[in-house]
Structures are given as C-alpha cells and as structure tokens.
Amino acid sequence: MLTSEMIETVDTIINEHDNNQSSIISILQGIQREYRYLPEEALNYVSDRMDISSSKIYGIATFYENFSLEPKGKHIIKICDGTACHIRKSQPILDALRKELSLSEDRITTDDLLITVEMVSCLGACSLAPVVNVDGVVYAKMTPSKTQALVRKIKEGQLSEDN
C-alpha cells in the first residue's frame, strides 16, 4: 500500500535527482537502498510522478541483477557455488542453511525479513573455498556447522559485534 511515508521518502529521492528522467536508475537505487527492494507501489508512484511508463520502469528493474522486486532480509547470506566452492562442498552448506531457516530455492527470505539466502557464482576468493559472504564480509573455508553458527549470531544480534 502506498503510504504517506512512502510518498515522502520517494519524493525526497526524486527531488535529490531534480526529477530528472535520465536519473531513473539512480532513483531506483535510492528506493532500493531505503526499502532493500523495489516495492511495486513505489515504482507505480515513480511512474506517475515522473511521467515514465511503468513498462519502462519495470524493464529497468528486472534488467539489472542488483534490483529486487521481492522484499529482502536485513542480512544477506551469499553461498558461493562457483566451481572451486562447488567442488569443496558448497551445496551441503546451502542445504543446511535452507533447512535451518525453512527456506528453499523459491523462498529465499525468512518470514521475519531477517535473512535472505542467495546462491551466487564465483565471489573471487577461490583459494578460500568454500566461501560464504554475509553482508559483504567473506568467510573462508566454511562448513555447514560454521555457517549455522553464523546464522545463530545473526539471530542473536551478535554478528556485527564480531566484525
């Protein structure tokens, strides 16, 4: 639902870019930073307010991998499944995490919007395989149990204190 708070937030972002249609990508990035995804109602509001067709906006939102149309968790866990990590058993890490968090290939974010689990290709740290990235921090030579311990720290709000 489009709330007055959302209108105010999106207006601020649009105004920061002088209501300039050519800044639409930056505007969408600003909205995603704010909500951690692109809410449908915000995109429709941008379309009306900036006089850009919704098909063009959705085209941009779906073209760029970094944009998400689904709500994401406060913490993003990326399990690398590039070749080196796959050979060194990244799949059991993913399986254990999904089981612990009741997630699946189609359901990647917990109901409380605390954690999103994504499978990604090479994170560029193959010598440390298997690698897990949590909120931009790389964890090397991971195992299912080490990754589950990280999740427990996230749930207890302790992860950032350790980094």
Question: Which residues of the chain form contacts with ligand FES (CB under 6 A)?
Answer: 80, 82-85, 122-126, 129, 131
- The least distance separating ligand FES from the CB of residue 15, rounded to whole angstroms, comes to 41
Say which residues have a Cβ less than 8 Å from residue 150's Cβ, sequence separation at least 6: 77, 132, 134, 139, 159
Contact criterion met (CB below 8 Å) for 130 and 78: no
Based on CB atoms, which residue is closest to ligand FES, 7 or 76? Answer: 76
Nearest residue to ligand FES, using CB? 82
- The least distance separating ligand FES from the CB of residue 81, rounded to whole angstroms, comes to 7
- How far is it, in rounded angstroms, from Cα 94 to Cα 30? 30
Based on CB atoms, which residue is closest to ligand FES, 42 or 150? Answer: 150
Based on CB atoms, which residue is closest to ligand FES, 50 or 122? Answer: 122
- The least distance separating ligand FES from the CB of residue 6, rounded to whole angstroms, comes to 37
- The least distance separating ligand FES from the CB of residue 86, rounded to whole angstroms, comes to 7
CA distances from 65 to 29, 37, 54, 68, 120 (A): 12, 12, 18, 8, 11
Based on CB atoms, which residue is closest to ligand FES, 88 or 98? Answer: 88
- The least distance separating ligand FES from the CB of residue 4, rounded to whole angstroms, comes to 44
Specify the 3-state DSSP secondary structure of 20. Answer: coil
Based on CB atoms, which residue is closest to ligand FES, 69 or 140? Answer: 140
C-alpha dihedral over 60, 62, 51, 15, to 10 degrees?
A: -70
Q: Choose among 85, 107, 2, 88: nearest CA to 46.
A: 2
